[in-house]
Structure 1
């Protein structure tokens, strides 16, 4: 009787420990909020489907293409003038131009950077590159002859906002109409900052930078990190990519999550999960492009109605 009672007690205790661990994990991975959003997303479809990107309608058409001779690709931006993509590598530090089907078009060496982590198109030939560890933003300019870029030659600012080692500025997005640069702090905590005044578009104007954030919006982001941002000009919506949550979220103009794209195997036609999503952007037609470390390339397009 005593041994049976002891065994039951141990099993009950073990069950309690398991439940507690599951509860802690659910809180850590924001599973409660994510499950509630899944319910909300069903209701969002009727209102948002025709006036947003509506990520549930996307299907993968290039699934994990290996980018030859590249390692540690990080970030992605679309250049509407060149009809091409740009990414950065933070091991050998290059700015790399890619075709829309994942071919390497050219490489530009980066000098004077410590940890280039994001790149964003601003205007014809003008980009901003973030140096994650130093929380530094550097404006660079390229043309057809550019083969090397030196950070010291570009307009730059450093922002000591919540410095936390290798959890600094991970994603960039630019609103060309509002002249707003969105900067994502990776985690601990997740933050999206809005910067006005950088890069300086008119050299005749005084250099004045204003930085703002929206804690209420950031609290609604049920992701563990942000690895990339993209601003969609057509809708005015922001896309936030999370590597650890294996998810992309579409945020409306009020910062509310309205649709999502899962990066798990079997979702959106993926044959296997996306291992380490680091960059996300879209082109003029709304096609989505994604890169994952070490060198994987994905394209998602909306399914035919």
Structure 2
């Protein structure tokens, strides 16, 4: 005996299943709960955090003149008061002014797929080679025209190798000497590396790689594009291209504030198309680079 099913019931059931699956894929339920918590605890969290909701765009999608390929990653150099990024097509290290002007381009030799760069100390940076899952310590001064990976310190991690879904972002805690490494996705992970880079005169080397699965499970973003460590609060900023969001994590790894990169939010005229790099300067201004070679600056309004 066959039972005829009402087409309206079938449609409603299908829509319900689709809604649940979409909610899981886009982490809509977690994002909704976070938005509620962010609103409820704003007064308590704002004074002791970066507090991303206060930021407004002041340079909105400005083209970077003089570049014929896209940038990946971003870091702030407090000594030069400039920004650095990398390109992975022709493999170059690029220096930018704080208003998004190209200052110079340095050739990268011996790299396969440079995806992230992070300032460590004066003239010292770490570059992440994504496909090799390798971290490379490089030195740079005002006269450097090329950087060769063959003679540089390297650390190969090889954690959860997954093609080009490897290391996509770096952040550095200068006080704690901790290097944060973001794995893009499948799954999203943030590793903490202690002991690298090390001094050239080190007699013994001890490197530790730590994970925080509980923190990573709270990340309701679909991917990781870049990281930034705020030394004043000790909080970590996480950039997600696919979720079009910057997320602030407190010292316990809990999300506490966010900045949307969608049109109409935080003063943006258009959505940021493909955010690839995030940095913060000494004054607390945020910088974002996006494909195709667009430059953004976010600042808090003067009070």
| SS of residue matched to 1:221 | coil
Corresponding residue of 2:275: 277
Corresponding residue of 2:148: 150
Q: Partners in 1 of 2:301 and 2:45 — Cα distance?
A: 17
The reply on whether 1:20 has 2:24 as its aligned counterpart is: no
Corresponding residue of 1:52: 49
Task: Flag as ranges the 4+ runs of structure 1 deviating above 4 A.
Answer: none
* Structure 2 length-normalised TM: 0.96
Once the two structures are superposed, what CA deviation does each residue of 1:66-85 show, in whole Å capped at 9, x if it has no partner?
Answer: 11232221000000000000
The reply on whether 1:37 has 2:34 as its aligned counterpart is: yes
What is the correspondence of 1:257-296 to structure 2 with a 5 Å cutoff? 257-296=255-294
Corresponding residue of 1:3: none
Corresponding residue of 2:78: 80
Structure 1: 5+ residue runs without aligned partners? 1-5
Structure 2: 5+ residue runs without aligned partners? none
Deviation for aligned residue 1:41: 0.1
| SS of residue matched to 1:254 | coil
Once the two structures are superposed, what CA deviation does each residue of 1:202-254 show, in whole Å capped at 9, x if it has no partner?
Answer: 62341221000100011111111111000011111100100111111011111
Deviation for aligned residue 1:9: 2.2
Indicate conservation of the 8 Å contact 2:66/2:102, yes or no.
Answer: no
Q: 2:95 aligns with which of 90, 94, 97?
A: 97
The reply on whether 1:233 has 2:231 as its aligned counterpart is: yes
* Structure 1 length-normalised TM: 0.96
The reply on whether 1:213 has 2:214 as its aligned counterpart is: no
Q: Partners in 1 of 2:201 and 2:236 — Cα distance?
A: 28
Indicate conservation of the 8 Å contact 2:169/2:182, yes or no.
Answer: yes
Indicate conservation of the 8 Å contact 2:116/2:129, yes or no.
Answer: yes
The 1:202/1:149 distance shift into structure 2, 3 A limit, reads closer
Once the two structures are superposed, what CA deviation does each residue of 1:19-55 show, in whole Å capped at 9, x if it has no partner?
Answer: 2112101111100000000000012211111111100
Q: 2:189 aligns with which of 173, 185, 191?
A: 191
